[in-house]
Copies of this chain bind each other. A is one copy, B any other.
Amino acid sequence: MNICTYSYEEYLQLVKSFHGNLAPGLIIGGFIVDLALKHLPEGEFFDALCETPVCLPDAVQILTPCTIGNGWLTILDFGRFAVTMYEKKGGQGVRVYLDAKKLENWPEIRDWYLKRKKKHEQNLDLLLAQIKEAGHGLLGIQRVRLDPEKIRREKLGPVGLCPVCGEPYPVRDGERCRNCGGESPYTEIAVVETAG
């Protein structure tokens, strides 16, 4: 049993190294990405879409060239456990998702995913064993087409200096940067003189 070009055990090591722990969702995510890559439509360049920010984006980043920083991975906060790989211009692609009907065959996975058991009631060993045994068996596949324009990251455009903080920012955001325009998460700021 492989996950893309890795053995199952190798993939678990990559998960631990990148993600910090053996998150069950990320192991399922490995099977999702593996199945999607096995069903790519025609095309040369594929981008990725995750329909949740939880766990799944790391499976994509570990197993494909698509990352958040290079813009080939888009994340929607739909809370559906699904990855779509799509041809970046035309939008034809394959979507692999967690199939609720198939969950019934794997009660420990079902109760964990649907939150029918509290954390202390879950059996982690059994959960991981069922995930490994299930493999692709939890998943559904759809041929899809999406509109790349709908999820494309806005271009940065011209850059100016914010008159408040003095830092470069995209002038599309208005007369000041979004931080200085009222969205700042910071409550205190003090310059340190040691830089440079």
Q: State whether the Cβ of A13 lies closer than 8 Å to any Cβ in chain B.
A: no
Bound together, the chains give a CA A57 to CA B74 distance in angstroms of 13
Kindly supply a per-residue 1/0 record for chain A positions 156-195, scoring 1 wherever the CB is within 8 Å of any chain B CB and 0 otherwise. Answer: 1011011001111110010001110001011111111011
Instruction: Tell whether, in the assembled complex, residue A143 and residue B195 are in contact, meaning their CB atoms are under 8 Å apart.
Output: no
Copies of this chain present: 2
Q: Given the complex of chains A and B, what is the CA–CA distance between A163 and B171 in angstroms?
A: 43
Q: Which of B54, B97, B102, B147 contacts A69 (CB 8 A)?
A: B54
Q: Cβ of A77 < 8 Å from any Cβ of B?
A: yes
Among B69, B79, B141, B161, point to the contact of A170 (Cβ < 8 A). Answer: B79
User: Would A65 and B35 be within 8 Å (CB), given that A139-B196, A191-B141 are in contact?
Assistant: no
Nearest residue (CB) in B for A196 is B137
User: Are A102's CB and B146's CB within 8 A?
Assistant: no
Q: Does A7 count as interface, using CB distance less than 8 angstroms?
A: no
CB-based contact A136/B58 at 8 Å: no
Give bound CA distance, A75 to B57, whole Å.
14
Give chain B residues whose Cβ lies under 8 Å from the Cβ of A55: 69-70
Q: How far is the CB of A7 from chain B (nearest CB, A)?
A: 19
Chain B residue with the shortest CB-CB distance to A181: B78
Does A130 touch B at the CB level, under 8 Å? no
Q: Is A39 in contact with chain B by the CB < 8 A criterion?
A: yes
The chain B residue with its CB closest to the CB of A66 is B20
Interface residue ranges, A against B (CB under 8 Å):
18-21, 23, 26, 29, 35, 39, 49, 51, 53-59, 61, 65, 67-72, 75-82, 91, 94-103, 113-115, 136-137, 139-147, 150-151, 153, 156, 158-159, 161-162, 165-170, 173, 177-179, 183, 185-192, 194-196
Provide a sorted-by-A list of 13 A–B residue pairs whose CB atoms are within 8 angstroms. A18-B61, A19-B69, A19-B70, A29-B69, A54-B69, A57-B69, A78-B178, A80-B167, A82-B167, A96-B195, A98-B168, A139-B196, A147-B186
